[in-house]
Amino acid sequence: MVYKKRLDGRNNNQLREMEAKVGVITNADGSASFKIGKTWAIAAVYGPRELFPKFLQDPKKGVLRCYYNMMPFSGSGERIRPGGNRRAQEIAMVMSQALQPVVDLSAFPNAVVDVFIELPQTDAGTRCAGISAASMALADAGIPMKDMISSVAVGKVDDKIVADLDYREEHIEEFNPESAHASVSDIPVAMINNTKEITLLQMDGEISQKDLIAALELAKEATSQIYEVQKKALKERFAKE
Amino acid sequence: MSQLLVNERDVVIPGETLAEGLDYLPGENAYRENDKIYSKVLGLANVAGRVLKITPLSGPYILKIGDKIIGKVIDITMSGWRVDTNTAYSAILNVKDASSRYIRKEEDLSKIIAIGDYVVVKVVNVTSQNLIDVSMREPGLYKITGGRIVNINSQKVPRVIGKQGSMVTLIKDKTGCEITVGQNGLVWIKGTPEGEFKAEQAVKLVEEKAHLEGLTDRVEKFLGGN
């Protein structure tokens, strides 16, 4: 079987329409909103502030803490039970690990920087949108960072290597009768922009070594596109009138 | 061959390349990797000869020795007061640094400065772990009574003060308020209720438009309607 045309008509390497804005939550020390297709992530950064409970404090450097939450109405209509769950906890953990390599909190021992990521609407690629938004929000909060993190999913749908899968592509067997027995692999990737070092790499499904390398090459190009959107949004925040 | 990639007062983002080649040096909030210099924060580029600095546009207040700050007393200990500095760290105000008058050992410290009071203090010591000592034993340092406290981003404090205090003097003159600006971003305003309100709005305006030019004219225009 071959996957001839992407369900929403995009090219294989084309990302969904993106929109980014910095400074959307005025109460927070830094914030950003990042939309890619129908997926929408809002990140708010608070801190550095005092960390409690005390045993979590690190006397050598500050702690970066992430929270991930899908809003109850954010999915396809089925109400999502609010509050934490195992999936959210795991995603929060991988997100903070994806951001940590660039964030420099050595000037803030025993303190914490909290990153809250809320998703008002989801259509696959939420952790990637969340990381891209969080990276902008951290920069907006003035946290020292050696670089920006840009994140996007790549993968293989049937026989094609594609960038930025949406929900229908992730579940291609349900939505495309032609691909009823197709296999899908979905690989969220986060990269440090200048060096293209990978800070997040997960996968659903299976993929061959050759295809994985091809997919990661595509991810380099795709994360650069995300970076341009992030850069533009950050610069617009302090644009001259 | 070295090449400068940014102009003076350009907005740069973390990880943006500022210059290539070894002729330039990384200053504050910039770092070198191989032969390139990158920014470490979101801010304005500042080229001073061969040194490239970034002036942050946002970010937390970093405590510096000698800074005058406004803090809130949050606890009383055996030997002094614990003061919230509007950062992740609290400071200690020792009894001997609190007043020029001799405070006897058995005196009730809460009679002198109570919990919840605001004080204007000076940072006398900061350790590597950000343990802070502050002092109130100098002219211009005191316990605050009345008025209101406004919280602004500490990176905007230099603009609120202005060159040689021009901005704060302007707001003081136009509103008839007493204003003290702490380096940590807390501003104390005291005057008539209307004056305080006007001054608070003016301070907020400065914070909001801090990165733009012609700020004094803007504030003057805003206060002109008095």
Predicted confidence at residue A181, as pLDDT, reads: 80
pLDDT (tens digit per residue) in B49-104: 889 999 999 999 999 999 999 999 999 999 899 999 999 999 999 999 998 888 88
Report the amino acid identity of residue B187.
V
CB-CB under 8 Å, A48 with B11: no
Percentage above 70 pLDDT, chain B: 99
Buried b (16+ CB within 10 A) or exposed e, B16-46: bebbbeeebebbebbeeeeebbbbbbbbbbb
B193: phi then psi, degrees, rounded to nearest 5: -55, -45
Decide if B207 touches A, using CB distance below 8 A: no
A86: its two tokens: 């195992």
**Sequence-separated (6 or more) residues with CB below 8 Å from residue A118:** A41, A42, A43, A44, A69, A71
Query: Per CATH, the architecture of B3-56 is what?
Result: Beta Barrel (2.40)
Decide if A125 touches B, using CB distance below 8 A: no
d(CA A205, CA A183) in angstroms, rounded, equals 7
The answer, as to whether pTM is greater than 0.90, is yes
CB-CB under 8 Å, A235 with B11: yes
CB-CB under 8 Å, B31 with A48: no
Which of B81, B90, B178 has its CA nearest to residue B136?
A: B81
Is pLDDT at A84 greater than 90 in this prediction? no
CA dihedral B17, B18, B24, B29 (to 10 degrees): -100
Q: Was domain A18-230 assigned CATH 3.30.230.70?
A: yes
**Where exactly are the structural domains of chain A?**
18-230
Predicted confidence at residue B9, as pLDDT, reads: 87
Predicted confidence at residue A1, as pLDDT, reads: 59
Predicted confidence at residue A99, as pLDDT, reads: 97
Predicted confidence at residue A93, as pLDDT, reads: 96
Sheet with B30-33: list strands edge to edge. B3-4, B17-20, B36-39, B30-33
Domain B68-135 superfamily per CATH: Nucleic acid-binding proteins (2.40.50.140)
By the 10 Å C-beta count (0-12 exposed, 13-18 middle, 19+ buried), B4 is classed as middle
Q: What is the mean pLDDT of chain A?
A: 93
* pLDDT, greater one: A30 or A76: A30
Nearest residue, CB atoms, A141 vs list B58, B88, B213: B58
pLDDT (tens digit per residue) in A169-216: 998 888 888 877 888 999 999 999 999 999 999 999 999 999 999 999
Domain span(s) for CATH 2.40.50.100 in chain B: 3-56
**What is residue B143's DSSP assignment?**
B
| Neighboring chain B residues of A148 at a CB cutoff of 8 Å | 13-15
CATH code for the structural domain at B148-224 = 3.30.1370.10
pLDDT band at B212 (very low <50, low <70, confident <90, very high): confident
- Work out the number of other CB atoms within 10 angstroms of the CB of residue B80: 22
Q: How far apart are the CA of B226 and the nearest CA of chain A, in angstroms?
A: 26
Nearest residue, CB atoms, A145 vs list B14, B128, B213: B14
* pLDDT, greater one: A80 or B72: B72
A-B C-beta contacts closer than 8 Å:
94
ipTM associated with this complex: 0.90
Nearest CA in chain B to A61: B129
Q: How far apart are the CA of A48 and the nearest CA of chain B, in angstroms?
A: 6
Is pLDDT at B226 greater than 60 in this prediction? no
**What mean pLDDT comes out for the span B44-53?**
91
Predicted confidence at residue B211, as pLDDT, reads: 81
**Sequence-separated (6 or more) residues with CB below 8 Å from residue B172:** B178, B179, B199
Nearest residue, CB atoms, B211 vs list A29, A141, A238: A238
Predicted confidence at residue B114, as pLDDT, reads: 95
Nearest residue, CB atoms, B13 vs list A139, A144, A241: A139
Lowest mean pLDDT among A89-93, B2-6, B150-154: B2-6
pLDDT band at B223 (very low <50, low <70, confident <90, very high): confident
Nearest residue, CB atoms, B14 vs list A49, A109, A146: A146
Percentage above 70 pLDDT, chain A: 98
pLDDT band at B196 (very low <50, low <70, confident <90, very high): very high
Predicted confidence at residue B210, as pLDDT, reads: 85
CB-CB under 8 Å, B88 with A147: no
Q: How far apart are the CA of A130 and the nearest CA of chain B, in angstroms?
A: 18
| Neighboring chain A residues of B17 at a CB cutoff of 8 Å | 194
CB-CB under 8 Å, A110 with B88: yes
Predicted confidence at residue B3, as pLDDT, reads: 87
Q: Which residues pair with A43 in a beta bridge?
A: A32, A117
Predicted confidence at residue A150, as pLDDT, reads: 97
Pick the residue of B42, B130, B132 with the most A CBs within 10 A to test the interface with A by mutation: B42
Predicted confidence at residue A4, as pLDDT, reads: 77
Residue with tokens 């195992």: A86
A132: phi then psi, degrees, rounded to nearest 5: -60, -40
Decide if B67 touches A, using CB distance below 8 A: no
**What mean pLDDT comes out for the span A126-138?**
97
